[in-house]
Amino acid sequence: MPTSFIITLLVLFLGVSLKTSKALVPFACDPNDGTRRNLPFCQVKLPIQTRVNDLIGRMTLQEKVGLLVNNAAAVPRLGIKGYEWWSEALHGVSNVGPGTKFGGAFPVATSFPQVITTAASFNATLWEAIGQVVSDEARAMFNGGAAGLTYWSPNVNIFRDPRWGRGQETPGEDPVVAGKYAASYVRGLQGNDGNRLKVAACCKHFTAYDLDNWNGVDRFHFNAKVSKQDMVDTFDVPFRMCVKEGKVASVMCSYNQVNGIPTCADPNLLKKTVRGQWRLDGYIVSDCDSVGVYYGQQHYTSTPEEAAADAIKAGLDLNCGPFLGQHTEDAVKKGLLNEAEINNALLNTLTVQMRLGMFDGEPSSQPYGNLGPAEVCSPAHQELALEAARQGIVLLKNHGPSLPLSTRRHHSVAIVGPNSNVTVTMIGNYAGVACGYTTPLQGIERYSKIIYQQGCADVACVSDQQFGAAIDAARQADATILVMGLDQSIEAEFRDRTGLLLPGRQQELVSKVACSLEGPNCIGLNVWWAH
C-alpha cells in the first residue's frame, strides 16, 4: 500500500514568468520643437513649482478641464500630448487599465504572487525589492511607448470581511502589516531619488471598502458605517503609513460612502485628513467613475454640476472617468466652483508629472532612460518572483512529519484536484501577461513520475463522477498532492462569497482521497496555503 500522507495546496497564484524599443516623441517639451522648448515650464533648472505655475498660467479654462480626467486631453498649442493616467501594477505590470499595452517589444512582464501571498512572508525587504523590479519593468515599458508612469497600486484596503472578492489583492486584515506593506511597496515603486519619481504609486481605495456585491448591496451603493475609533485605529492606518512613511504620490478615493458621505465628496477625508494632516505630496484620484456614481446611482447631489463642484472642493484632483471633463466648466459658469480651485487640482497632478520627468524632454537622456526590453522578465526578476512565492507559502501542519518529499522514497506522485494544471488561475486578478507558466503538475513532473487525476471537472466541483479515479490514483502512488481551491469564477472583483468553505464538493474529494489512504481517522493531512 502506498503512502500515508497527502498535501493540499489551496488556490495558488504564484506567477513566474521572459522579455523585449524605439525613439518616441516626448510627452512635452520636445527638444526638436523650437517654439516651445524654451518656455519656462520646460526649463529643467527652474523649481518645479515655478514651472507648474507658468504652465497653469498659460492654459484656458477649457484646456484645464481637459486635464481633470484619466484620459487627459492634449494641449497642442503648448506642445503637450494627451496622457492616460490609468495603469496598474498590483503584483507586476498589469494589462488592466488603458495606460498599458502588452505586445510588440513588450509582450509579457514578470508576475509576482498575488498580494495576499506575498504579504504572508511578513518581509518588508521583499516587498520593497518587488516594487523595484516592477518599476524597472514599468519604466522599460514606458521608454518603449507601451505604458504610463502612474500606477494605481497598491490596494491596501483592510480585509476585514474575508468573503470580499478583492481580499486577494490586499495585504490582509492587520492595519500595521498593511501599512508596512503599503510603505515598502510604494518606496520600491517610486525609487529613492529625492523628489524625483521613478513611477508614481497610488494607495487605494480610501476608505472602508471591503464589499463588492453582497446580499443585494453593491459597492456603488454601500454605505460603510464606521466609528471614529475604528477609523483611526483600523481603516486610516495603511493609508496614513502609505502617505507619511511611503511618501506615496497618489491616493484614490473609493465608490462607497462612509457614514453617509461619498468618500470622493468628503472634504474631511480628502482635504483635511489626507492632504492636511498626513501632508500628501501628490494627487487624489477617484475610482472609475466615483463622481458619476455618487451623482447617478447614489443621488447624492441633484445636479451633475454640484457633483463636480463637490468633488473638487473636497480635494479631488483627478477623475478616473469622464464626469469632471463633462460638467466642470458648467459648474464654474453656474458659480459653484471657481477657477482657482481647478488650478489647485492641476497643481497637484502637474507636479507629479514634472517629478516623473514628463516635462524634461527626451526620456532616453533622463534617469531610468536606459531601461528597456532586456530588463523585462530577466532571470533575476523571475528568480525574485519565485522567491516571493516560496516566502509566502504557509505550511499549516506537517504530520509525521511527512514533508519534505524525497525523490528517493517517492517514486510516483498522484496529483489530484481542479487546480492541478492551471496557468492564469495562479496569478489572480490585476495581473499582466506572465513571462511563462509552470503548472503545479509540470513542476512536480520534474521530480517524480506523475499519476494525474483532476477529481473535479473545475473548481465549482458539482459532480463526484471523477472521485473514484482520483482515489485509485492516490492508492497507486507513493505520495498524493491535492491542488484545490478557488479561481476568479468563485471570488473576484464584483463577486463576493457567502461562505469560506471550498466550493462545491471539493472538501468531499479531499476527505475521500485522504480517508482511502489513512483509514477511519484520516489523519496526516498536511495543508499548505499558497494563495
Ligand X SMILES: *[C@@H]1O[C@H](CO)[C@@H](O)[C@H](O)[C@H]1NC(C)=O
Q: Residues 6 or more apart from 84 whose CB is under 8 A from it?
A: 70, 71, 72, 98, 99, 148
- Residue 394 is a binding residue for ligand X (CB under 6 A): no
Q: What is the DSSP letter of 182?
A: H
Interface with ligand X by CB under 6 A: which range of 119-127, 494-502, 507-515, 523-531? 119-127
In the list 87, 123, 234, 349, the residue contacting ligand X (rule: CB under 6 A) is 123
Instruction: Give the shortest CB-388-to-ligand X separation in angstroms.
Output: 7
Please say whether the beta carbons of 270 and 304 come within 8 A.
no
| Per-residue cell: 464 | 463526484
Please confirm whether the linkage preceding 262 is cis (ω < 30° from 0): no
Taking the least distance from each CB to ligand X, the nearer of 343 and 391 is 391
For ligand X, the binding residues in 163-222 under the rule CB under 6 A are none
> Active site includes 472?
no
Interface with ligand X by CB under 6 A: which range of 123-131, 135-143, 465-473, 478-486? 123-131
- Residue 102 is a binding residue for ligand X (CB under 6 A): no
In the list 49, 195, 370, 423, the residue contacting ligand X (rule: CB under 6 A) is 423
Count residues binding ligand X (CB under 6 A). Answer: 10
Instruction: State the virtual CA torsion across 167, 169, 170, 172 in degrees, nearest 10.
Output: 50
- Residue 466 is a binding residue for ligand X (CB under 6 A): no
Between CA 527 and CA 131 the distance in angstroms is 30
- Residue 452 is a binding residue for ligand X (CB under 6 A): yes
Catalytic residue among 287, 310, 487, 496: 287
Instruction: Give the shortest CB-434-to-ligand X separation in angstroms.
Output: 12
Please say whether the beta carbons of 496 and 165 come within 8 A.
yes
- Residue 129 is a binding residue for ligand X (CB under 6 A): yes
Instruction: Give the shortest CB-176-to-ligand X separation in angstroms.
Output: 17
Distances in whole angstroms, Cα of residue 473 to Cα of each of 28, 288, 377, 485: 63, 49, 37, 20
In the list 439, 453, 480, 526, the residue contacting ligand X (rule: CB under 6 A) is 439
For ligand X, the binding residues in 56-85 under the rule CB under 6 A are none
Q: What is the DSSP string of 346-390?
A: HHHHHHHHHHTTTTSS-GGGSTTTT--GGGTT-HHHHHHHHHHHH
Between CA 322 and CA 68 the distance in angstroms is 9
- Residue 39 is a binding residue for ligand X (CB under 6 A): no
Taking the least distance from each CB to ligand X, the nearer of 126 and 427 is 126
- Residue 125 is a binding residue for ligand X (CB under 6 A): yes
Place of cell 502612474: 150
Interface with ligand X by CB under 6 A: which range of 125-133, 296-304, 314-322, 492-500? 125-133
- Residue 126 is a binding residue for ligand X (CB under 6 A): yes
Please say whether the beta carbons of 113 and 388 come within 8 A.
yes
- Residue 298 is a binding residue for ligand X (CB under 6 A): no
- Residue 457 is a binding residue for ligand X (CB under 6 A): no
Instruction: Give the shortest CB-407-to-ligand X separation in angstroms.
Output: 21
Closest CA to 439 of 448, 426, 449, 454: 426
Closest CA to 181 of 239, 251, 97, 138: 239
Taking the least distance from each CB to ligand X, the nearer of 421 and 466 is 421
Q: Which residues are known to be catalytic? A: 287
Residues that bind ligand X (CB under 6 A): 123, 125-126, 129, 387, 421, 423, 439, 441, 452
